[in-house]
Amino acid sequence: MAAVAATAAAKGNGGGGGRAGAGDASGTRKKKGPGPLATAYLVIYNVVMTAGWLVIAVGLVRAYLAKGSYHSLYYSIEKPLKFFQTGALLEVGIVPSSVVLTSFQVMSRVFLIWAVTHSVKEVQSEDSVLLFVIAWTITEIIRYSFYTFSLLNHLPYLIKWARYTLFIVLYPMGVSGELLTIYAALPFVRQAGLYSISLPNKYNFSFDYYAFLILIMISYIPIFPQLYFHMIHQRRKILSHTEEHKKFE
């Protein structure tokens, strides 16, 4: 879901790394692009993020080759993953699209990284972690390069195609990884009473993190299909429109 919302938040032209009238999709260029200083900032931000996720991708490949297996690769990219995914908090507010949707997406990613994977050490060696890390990595590399190229008004069709096509596989993959990881964390949360408070206490408050995680898992059921089909709809709109444009060139 964190993977899904990433692209959904940036529907159409822009999102994430800001847009400067990419001139694709609906064909109407948004005249109100950011000024030169803001554009420079956005380009730098998107280039840095693309580079960051490439570092993670390379890290995964190297660790796989060194170890000879795909288990427990999380440890080799833990730090850059935490750094660059948390860094995405900077996107909230500089995104032209809905602040609500963007912050929702970033918060859910950050939640998974810190409140689940980091907090419950026992799940770090699970294969499900690799599943969502790979999904996020590929998605983010494409997404941030998409923004970079859009800002520079030179968007290769391949990147646009990739952004609006690969999600078909990457979203379900990411969601599966996320859900399996949360599920794997449950017994350890229950056992340790992690992040939980019980009655009685002087603030008359209680919180059961185990129940909370289950609610999170359930929330994927209504949310994921909505985001997924929104992306499918976007894909039809954006890719077929470009086809038409190309026809007349």
Partner 1 sequence: MSHRVEILDAKTREKLCFLDKVELGHPQWYPARQSLRLDPKGKSLKDEDVLQKLPVGTTATLYFRDLGAQISWVTVFLTEYAGPLFIYLLFYFRVPFIYGHKYDFTSSRHTVVHLACICHSFHYIKRLLETLFVHRFSHGTMPLRNIFKNCTYYWGFAAWMAYYINHPLYTPPTYGAQQVKLALAIFVICQLGNFSIHMALRDLRPAGSKTRKIPYPTKNPFTWLFLLVSCPNYTYEVGSWIGFAIMTQCLPVALFSLVGFTQMTIWAKGKHRSYLKEFRDYPPLRMPIIPFLL
Q: Which of 74, 164, 171, 210 is catalytic?
A: 171
In angstroms, the CA 25 to CA 33 distance is 16
Least Cβ distance, residue 240 to partner 1 (angstroms): 27
| DSSP letter string, 152-221 | TT---HHHHHHHHHTHHHHHHHHHHHHHHHHHHHHHHHHHHTTT-B-SS-TT---B-HHHHHHHHHHHHH
Is the Cβ of residue 28 or residue 201 nearer to partner 1 in the bound state? 201
In angstroms, the CA 206 to CA 197 distance is 5
User: Is 178 annotated in the active site?
Assistant: yes
Least Cβ distance, residue 206 to partner 1 (angstroms): 7
Sorted by sequence, the CB contacts under 8 Å of residue 154 that are 6+ apart come out as: none
Is the Cβ of residue 22 or residue 216 nearer to partner 1 in the bound state? 216
Least Cβ distance, residue 140 to partner 1 (angstroms): 33
User: Is 78 annotated in the active site?
Assistant: no
Binding site for partner 1 (CB under 8 A): 199-206
In angstroms, the CA 61 to CA 231 distance is 29
Q: Which of 126, 147, 178, 210 is catalytic?
A: 178
| DSSP letter string, 94-155 | T-SS-HHHHHHHHHHHHIIIIIIIIT-GGGTT-HHHHHHHHHHHHHHHHHHHHHHHHHTT--
Least Cβ distance, residue 12 to partner 1 (angstroms): 19
In angstroms, the CA 233 to CA 213 distance is 30
Least Cβ distance, residue 220 to partner 1 (angstroms): 20
Phi then psi dihedrals of residue 224, to 5 deg: -55, -50
Three-class DSSP category at 223: helix
Which residues have a catalytic role annotated?
A: 171, 178
